[in-house]
Structure 1
């Protein structure tokens, strides 16, 4: 049997009893990073006084998964195998999707255990979602594609969940504020760890808070839904922002619908592209 085992995203106590039992019994581990998995087993062993014994660990990640799956013999899956990403739920902005797809296509028995997930913790903590939401994960790192990703998130009629690194969280919130400074957002870092920290408010308010904050740690950002009337035939700011036209022209069009000056908008658009 193939088992996809979620691992703690911060607090070791979040590991489930069933996960611990499978970590003991499975002899082969497919790991996003074998070093991280070895360190996790050592920490769990020390905390819960468990002897996990020696495991065969095989690196399995986005850079080598196609090659490994192409060369795997079906008999390989006759044994109990655990798949581990570095932290959290496999397949959610982590490796795992390709292996699940392979198992489905080849009638390989597998189970996905429930467990820790940063996106859902952030969403519930934000109080910005009553029912539907959109999970985006990581945005493009830079350039025009990143700007498009941010604009799409702001256009969604449901709250959007974004993962971000400490290096880019401040610029991300700054870009959101430059487009819609009053949009309500929620930012959380170091989920379930000792220094878990939360910020909530308008994009401008959160940006001002983050400028004075310690940004170390992994971040999750929740953006409130777009409350504009999407069923009307009127042109939305997002529609204009996505047009492939000169910034000056874009600024003039935006000025006509939001009451700001073209110069002010042009300055913000230039800032958002950096």
Structure 2
């Protein structure tokens, strides 16, 4: 199979059974660009590894240091097959082009719910905000996948706050909520028109991108939520089978 190159994935595409998300630290904006180019070159120079890998995308962090890796799979077993048979040779070639990449963990997720783009909205996302939320769970409970009810409740609370916001942020294109398979994490992949549009939403009244309503306050103080963090990226490349 050949390789098709675009700029960004479709987080709501059908057939996705598993999502992996990881961060690379590379140190400088120049190395960010070089690493993204190396990924594109290495992957396009080889046959697509597995029909079950639906897309592999890289976005460049606004911090001048990180890269976001976001991959969609038809199922978790496809990732395991890729990791065993095809991952190492690609990593070695990328590392030869950009030595010293620090790979910071790998999160495994299932996409749970989406706030899709409005029909007819053809805006291209210029900014992706990744909101990572960690919920309370002991090690035994997490290993059994417990904690899902609390995370699902938080997602519903966010969707409710968005739907009832009296002054919704016009720059938000879509939001896609994922639940970590470890039982403790949730991730929102939010597409924004631009970084400036996201900044405008932050500068409006309220704590974060939402209006100062009770429903947004519930989101921010949801029971069991231990930690949340926001990182911002610019879409760079998205690869899929041609």
TM range (shorter): under 0.3
Bigger RCO of structures 1 and 2 (CA < 8 A, at least 6 apart): 2
Structure number with higher helix proportion:
1
